[in-house]
Amino acid sequence: MTVSSASGPGPVTITANGHAASPASAQGLPFDAGCSACPRLAGFLAQQRGALPAYYNAPVPAFGAADARLLVVGLAPGLHGANRTGRPFTGDHAGILLYQTLFDQGFASAPVSEHAADTLRLIGARISNAVRCVPPENKPEPAEVRRCNAYLAHDLAAHPADGVVIALGTIAHQAVLDALGLRRSAYSFGHGAHHALPDGRLLIDSYHCSRYNTSTRRLTPEMFAAVFAAARALLDTRRDTGAA
């Protein structure tokens, strides 16, 4: 387990237009289902509305209570997953391991997320993404990640100071740092790494639970379970001790 800690500048918000925001808007931007600030992604969504009219085909909101103590940050909606159902990690392969693992650790009411209208509830957990719109080939461009960072900043502004963030993959890890105004160079991504953030929160890294990573065994269910078990233990300890 790697533990790192570093101080960084105060929070900096990047607006949906990709510009630094004033301190007055450091809370980021609330989710906007009509956002079309990324021309490439807005165009791709417009294509999908024609090709796949039964799909959700819009920016996907975070799932779970805004003040949940565990915040899981993924990459972006999958074309046939979240972009189809409108709920993060729901409807394609990547969500199978995630929801099973959340359930095993008491963060979800059921082990399978079937669709956005099912009865599944997250328990003290929230799932968000670095990018809210489905990117072609699951690959958002850096400018798109930067633009969408204002929405992630909003999620992080509501996240409690004694909370834990799990970043799924390097892009999510960097997006969390950017949203908090922290230097990327001070916190290196590594599967299972724990990063103590200046505001008291803890950032834990994991390889993304993508089909590629799980089928190649880069990420095994045991490795993933260990990440969430650590988060569970830390959250329980922090609650018991009142640590922030």
Site stretch for ligand SF4 (CB under 6 A), options 29-37, 94-102, 188-196, 209-217: 29-37
Contacts within 8 Å (CB) and 24+ apart, 215-222: 219/191, 221/97, 221/100, 221/101
Count interface residues toward ligand SF4 (CB under 6 A): 14
Enumerate helices (H) and strands (E) in the chain, giving the number of each: 7, 7
Which residue in the set 14, 15, 28, 37 belongs to the binding site for ligand SF4 (CB under 6 A)? 37
Interface with ligand SF4 includes 132 (CB under 6 A)? yes
47: Cα separation from own chain's centroid: 25
Interface with ligand SF4 includes 147 (CB under 6 A)? yes
Which residue in the set 48, 79, 144, 173 belongs to the binding site for ligand SF4 (CB under 6 A)? 144
Which of these, 205, 218, 215, 176, lies nearest to 28 by C-alpha position? 176
Cβ proximity to ligand SF4: between 15 and 100 the closer is 15
The CA dihedral of 77, 140, 230, 90, to the nearest 10 degrees, is 10
Residue 173 is given by DSSP the state H
Interface with ligand SF4 includes 14 (CB under 6 A)? no
Which residues are near ligand SF4 by CB under 6 A? Answer: 16, 35-38, 41-42, 59, 131-133, 144, 147-148
